[in-house]
Amino acid sequence: MTGPGPQSADAPLDLLASPDPVAAFFTAHHEGRLLALSTSGTSSAPRSIVRTTDSWLDSFGHLSELARIDTASKVWIPGPVTATMNLFGAVHARWAGAERSTELNGATHAHLTPSTLARLLAQEPAALRGVHVITAGDRLTRRVHADAVAAGVTLYHYYGAAELSFVAWGEHADALRPFPGVDVVDRDGEIWVRSPYLCQGYLAPEHTLRRDDAGWVTVGDRGQVRDGQVRIDGRDGAITTAGATVRISEIESVLQPEARGDVVVLGLDHTQVGQIVAAAVTHPDDVAHLHEVSRRSLPPAQQPRRWVHLATLPLTPGGKIDRAAVAVEVARSLS
C-alpha cells in the first residue's frame, strides 16, 4: 500500500464519528489527512488524540508476521470499534486482506481483552481451541495464559496505549519485550517510549503530551525495563492514607502474581485518614492468601485494610475492568 500524499490542511478526520470508521481510515490515508481518535476515558478524562495513518500502517507488517494473520485468516473482534484496540484490529484485518468474522465459531483469530478471554474460557473453552488470540487493554496474567494454552489457544499479548500504539509484545504480561521498531526505557519507574508509531499529540490545546527533546514520550504508566524485558505496573494512580501517598500499581504488582483470580486495589474515603487501601478479588481463596502476602511483602501503608470478594468485576463497554464501578461495588458491600 502506498503512502499518503502531502499532508492535507483539512482538520483531522474524526474516525469514530463516521458510520464506517474502518473505511474512513483508508479514505483519510488516501487523502493524506490526520486522524482524530477519542480515548475511552477509563483512567482519565476522555481526550482526542491526533495521529497520522502511517503511525498505524507502519506496524501492520510486524503484527501480521507475529500473529500469523494473512488473506486466509478470519478475524473475530467482538468489542465495539469505539475502543481504539478494536478499531486498530479491524483496520489491520482489512489491510491484511483477512475476513472479518461475525462470531467466534470458525474464526482463526480474535482480538480480546484479558477479561473477555477469561470469561470465554470459563463459559465455552472448546470454542477457542485452535484460535490465535491477541489480547490487550489490561494485564494478561500467567493464570489466564495457562488456562488459555490448556484450552488449545495460541496466545499473544501486547502493551500499548492510544497515544503510543504498540509498545511491547509477548505471551503474557510477565513476558513482554519491545515491539519491533520500538525503544522502551524506564525513568524512575515511569515508562518512556520512542517509536514510529507514536501519535502527534492531542486535539485540544489544553492537553499536552509529555515528550522530551530526543523524541521520547510517556503517558505516565509505571513499570521497569530490565535485560530487554518490559514490566508494566499500570497508570500512576495514588491513594493518600494517613498522610502517606502509596501507588496502586506498586501494590497490585506484588499481589497479582500471587493471586488465583483478578485483583483490583483502590482507595476508599475515610473520615479520619482521608482514604484507606482496599482490594477486590475474584477468587474467594485470595482474600486470606493475599492478606498474608500483603502482610509479609508490603510496607504497612500499602497493605489493604479492607478485602472484598466479587465474583465478577464490572467491565467498561470496551471490555476493560471498570475501576470506578468496582469502587462503588466495594463500598456497597462494606456499608
* Residue 221 pLDDT level (bands cut at 50, 70, 90): confident
Give yes or no for residue 34 having a pLDDT over 50: yes
pLDDT, one tens digit per residue, over 156-196 is 999 998 899 999 999 998 899 999 999 999 998 899 999 99
Mean predicted confidence (pLDDT) in 303-329:
89
* Per-residue model confidence (pLDDT) at position 43: 44
Q: Which pairs from 156-160 meet CB under 8 Å and 24+ separation?
A: 156/66, 156/67, 156/132, 157/114, 158/134, 159/230, 159/232, 160/85, 160/136
pLDDT at 236 over 70: no
Whether the predicted pLDDT of 6 surpasses 50: no
Residue 44 clears pLDDT 70, i.e. is over it: no
Determine the pLDDT at residue 138: 81
Report the side by side order of strands in the sheet with 35-38. 13-14, 35-38, 48-51, 201-202
d(CA 262, CA 176): 19
Instruction: Write the pLDDT tens digit of every residue in 238-261.
Output: 787 766 778 888 898 899 889 989
For residue 33, what are the contacts with CB-CB under 8 A and spacing of at least 6? 4, 7, 8, 10, 12, 13, 53
The average confidence (pLDDT) of the chain is: 89
pLDDT band (50, 70, 90) for residue 235: low
Structural domains of the chain, ranges and CATH numbers in brackets? 13-234 (3.40.50.12780), 237-334 (3.30.300.30)
Residue 40 has pLDDT above 60, yes or no: no
Does the pLDDT at position 4 exceed 80? no
**Cα separation of 128 and 315, whole Å?**
21
Structure confidence at residue 8 (pLDDT): 46
The CA–CA distances, whole Å, from 19 to 31, 36, 41, 51, 188 equal 18, 15, 22, 20, 43
In this prediction, residue 175 carries a pLDDT of 94
Looking at residue 303, its pLDDT comes to 93
Mean pLDDT of 16-34: 94
Question: Would you state the pLDDT for residue 129?
Answer: 96
How does DSSP assign 67-93, residue by residue? HT--TT-EEE--S-TTSHHHHHHHHHH
In this prediction, residue 306 carries a pLDDT of 94
Check residues 236 and 52 and name the one with the higher pLDDT: 52
pLDDT more than 90, % of the chain: 60
Lowest-confidence pick of 4-18, 90-104, 237-251, 283-297: 4-18
Per-residue model confidence (pLDDT) at position 242: 67
3-state helix, strand, coil in the chain (%, to 5): 30, 30, 40
CA–CA distance, 171 with 155 (Å, rounded to integer) = 6
